[in-house]
C-alpha cells in the first residue's frame, strides 16, 4: 500500500468586508486541524483568500486588492505577506498545500497579465513544486445586461492559462516513497520515482474531459481542484431550469459537479480532491459538495455543511494501479489515430 491522509479544507463564505487576515486565520485553523489528524496534504478552494470577486463589475483600482503580485525580480506568491504564513506553518507541520489565488504576473516590460491560478507547496521541499493557471474561464468579458443577470466576469479579469496541464511529483508525500529513496528528504531534494503524481485544475476545468485526460496521460494519481460554483443555474451555466424550484435547481448543479468529478476520476484512474468555497457570500449562494473521490468513481468522503469544514480521508494510491494497468491501460487500449479531430476544433 501507498497510504496518505489527505484533507479537503472547505471554506464557508468570504464576504466583501472580510479582511485577508481574517480569512488567513480561518485557513490556518483548518491547516492546523488537518495536520493534527494526520493529514499530509491540505487542499483549499479556488480564489481562497477573498470573496469570489468575478461576480462584481469592478474598476481597475478596486480590483488590485484581490490579486497577489508575482514579480520575477522580487519573488512569487510565497513571498506575499498575505500568503507566506500559510506556507511557513505548512512547512513546520509537515503538510503540503494546494491553494487557489488571483495571480498578477508582472512582465519584463512592467505591464501585467492576470490569471486565476493555483500552486502546490511541498512541505518536504520547502517550496512550490507545482503551478497551474486556469485554462477554462467561464462567463463573459462584458457584463450581461438582461434583468436579474448573474455576472460571471472571469473572462474580463483573467487571461486563459498558458501553462497547459503540467503534472508533477510531490516529494515525500507518501512515506513509502521516502523509505524507498536514499533516506531523508532535505530542503532542496527534488521528487523521485515513487512520489505521487499530482495534477491541478480550477473549478470550471473539472467539467472538461480533455483537461483530465492530459493529466491522465502523465500518470496522475491525485487531482486537486478548488471551486466557487453558484448554487443555482446561471446564464453562464447554460441550463434552462427556470421551471425548477431553487432546491431542485441546486440539486441539478450538484449533480453536474459530482458527475464531472466522479466520471473523470474513474476514466483516468485517479483520486480527486474537490474543494468548495461555499455558503452565501454577501447573499450570493455557492454550492457545497466538497468530495474526495476514489479511482473507481465512488465518493469516499463528503462535506456535511456549507461552513469551514475539514473533509479527511486516508487513501491508498495503490488503488490507482489496477485500473491503470487493465481497463484504462492507455498505452494498450487508446486509439489516438482517431482522436485528431478534437485537437483543432
Closest distance to ligand CDT from the beta carbon of 4 (Å): 27
Residues 6+ apart with CB under 8 A from 162: 115, 133
- Per-residue contact string for residues 229-248; x = within reach of ligand CDT by CB under 6 A: x----x-xx-----------
Contacts of 3 (CB under 8 A, 6+ apart): 174, 175, 176, 314, 315, 316, 317
Compute how many other C-beta atoms are within 10 angstroms of the C-beta atom of residue 206: 23
Beta-strand pair 96-106/299-302: unpaired
- Cα 230 to Cα 76, 147, 203, 204, 253, distances in angstroms: 30, 18, 11, 11, 8
DSSP bridge partners of 10: 309
Give catalytic status of residue 247 as yes or no: no
Grid coordinates given for 265: 476520476
Our answer to whether residue 332 is catalytic in this structure is: no
Closest to ligand CDT by CB, 104 vs 207, is: 207
Residues 6+ apart with CB under 8 A from 25: none
Site stretch for ligand CDT (CB under 6 A), options 104-112, 185-193, 222-230, 268-276: 222-230
End-to-end CA distance of the chain: 42
Each residue 37-66 as x (binds ligand CDT by CB under 6 A) or -, in order, gives ---------x--------------------
CA–CA distance, 219 with 320 (Å, rounded to integer): 10
Among 204, 264, 272, 274, binds ligand CDT (CB under 6 A): 204
Stretch 10-29 residues interacting with ligand CDT (CB under 6 A): none
User: Does position 101 bind ligand CDT by CB under 6 A?
Assistant: no
Known catalytic residue: 134?
yes
**Which of 203, 261, 270, 320 is labelled catalytic?**
203
Q: Which of residues 126-155 bind ligand CDT (CB under 6 A)?
A: 138, 152
Position among 207, 213, 294, 324 found at the interface with ligand CDT (CB under 6 A):
207
Where does this chain touch ligand CDT (CB under 6 A) — which range of 29-37, 66-74, 221-229, 275-283? 221-229
* Interacting residue ranges for ligand CDT, rule: CB under 6 A: 46, 138, 152, 203-204, 207, 227-229, 234, 236-237
Amino acid at each position: 500500500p501507498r497510504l496518505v491522509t489527505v484533507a479537503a479544507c472547505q471554506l464557508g463564505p468570504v464576504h466583501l468586508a472580510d479582511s485577508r487576515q481574517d480569512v488567513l486565520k480561518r485557513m490556518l485553523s483548518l491547516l492546523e486541524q488537518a495536520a493534527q489528524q494526520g493529514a499530509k496534504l491540505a487542499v483549499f478552494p479556488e480564489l481562497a483568500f477573498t470573496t469570489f470577486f468575478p461576480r462584481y463589475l469592478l474598476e481597475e483600482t478596486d480590483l488590485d486588492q484581490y490579486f497577489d503580485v508575482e514579480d520575477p525580480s522580487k519573488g512569487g506568491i510565497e513571498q506575499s505577506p498575505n500568503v507566506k504564513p500559510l506556507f511557513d506553518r505548512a512547512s513546520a507541520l509537515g503538510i503540503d498545500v494546494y491553494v487557489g489565488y488571483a495571480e498578477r504576473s508582472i512582465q519584463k516590460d512592467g505591464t501585467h497579465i492576470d490569471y486565476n491560478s493555483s500552486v502546490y507547496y511541498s512541505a518536504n521541499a520547502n517550496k512550490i513544486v507545482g503551478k497551474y493557471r486556469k485554462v477554462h474561464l467561464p462567463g463573459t468579458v462584458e457584463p450581461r445586461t438582461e434583468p436579474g443577470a448573474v455576472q460571471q466576469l472571469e473572462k474580463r479579469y483573467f487571461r486563459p492559462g498558458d501553462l497547459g496541464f503540467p503534472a508533477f511529483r510531490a516529494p515525500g508525500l507518501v512515506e513509502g516513497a521516502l523509505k524507498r529513496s536514499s533516506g531523508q528528504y532535505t530542503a532542496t531534494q527534488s521528487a523521485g520515482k515513487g512520489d505521487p503524481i499530482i495534477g491541478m485544475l480550477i473549478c470550471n476545468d473539472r467539467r472538461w474531459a480533455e483537461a483530465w485526460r492530459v493529466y491522465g496521460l502523465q500518470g496522475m494519481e491525485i487531482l486537486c481542484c478548488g471551486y466557487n460554483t453558484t448554487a443555482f443555474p446561471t446564464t453562464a451555466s447554460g441550463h434552462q431550469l427556470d421551471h425548477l424550484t431553487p432546491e431542485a435547481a441546486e440539486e441539478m448543479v450538484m449533480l453536474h459537479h459530482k458527475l464531472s468529478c466522479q466520471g473523470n476520476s474513474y476514466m483516468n484512474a485517479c483520486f480527486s480532491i474537490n474543494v468548495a468555497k461555499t455558503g452565501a457570500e454577501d447573499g450570493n449562494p455557492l454550492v457545497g459538495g466538497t468530495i474526495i473521490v476514489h479511482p473507481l468513481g465512488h465518493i469516499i468522503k463528503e462535506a456535511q455543511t456549507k461552513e469551514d469544514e475539514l473533509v479527511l480521508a486516508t487513501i491508498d494510491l495503490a488503488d490507482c494501479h489496477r485500473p491503470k494497468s487493465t481497463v484504462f491501460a492507455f498505452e494498450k487500449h487508446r486509439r489516438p489515430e482517431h482522436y485528431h479531430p478534437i485537437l483543432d476544433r
